[in-house]
Structure 1
Amino acid sequence: MSELQRRVTIIYYQDNGLELHHTIETFDQNLSGRVIIPKEFKKGKSIIAVCDGEVEILNKIGDRILSVNYTTSM
């Protein structure tokens, strides 16, 4: 990895949904250290956060709701 690149974790929503996503990518950075995210990557996404390095996300909003088993009793 070049000195002008940075490995980041990006947290985002797809524009057509409410599920929170994340990905680990390596992008170029400018001389002041700001990551340059390509337009192609940003297309169709709303970026929530850019974190330095690889971040292990243990829980995201909605994870527990999706994992609950609904049962009905009669």
Structure 2
Amino acid sequence: MCEAKRKVTVIYCCDNELALYRKTQSFNINAYGDMIIPQEFKRGKTIVAVCEGDIDVINSVGDKLVNEY
């Protein structure tokens, strides 16, 4: 039997850094329908958001939306 998975994009920052990162990955879903993010993925990170599917972030903290004035 195949385990159910959910594809998400995790937005996070690493410990001792202010930069934001993102990673799209599929995680297992338990018998109750809850998604399980493994400890080895979470280690050394602060998770800011978990978004359904593969997303494109077009602007984040510190980014300039428009370069020309």
Give the TM-score, by structure 1 length. 0.76
Q: Which runs of 5+ in 1 are unaligned?
A: 69-74
The amino acid that maps onto 2:8 is V
Matched-pair identity in %:
45
Gaps of 5+ in 2: none
CA distance in 1, matches of 2:57, 2:3: 26
Corresponding residue number in structure 2 for 1:49: 49
Tell whether the 8 Å contact from 1:4 to 1:31 is kept in structure 2 after alignment.
Answer: no
**Hey, what does 2:29 align to over in structure 1?**
29
Residue 7 (structure 1) shift? 0.5
Superposition TM-score, scaled by structure 2 size = 0.81
In structure 2, how many angstroms separate the alpha carbons of the residues matched to 1:27 and 1:7? Answer: 7
CA root-mean-square deviation: 1.6
Number of equivalenced pairs: 64
Superposed structure 1 runs of 4+ greater than 4 Å apart? none
Larger Rg: 1
Whole-Å separation in 2 of the counterparts to 1:3 and 1:59: 34
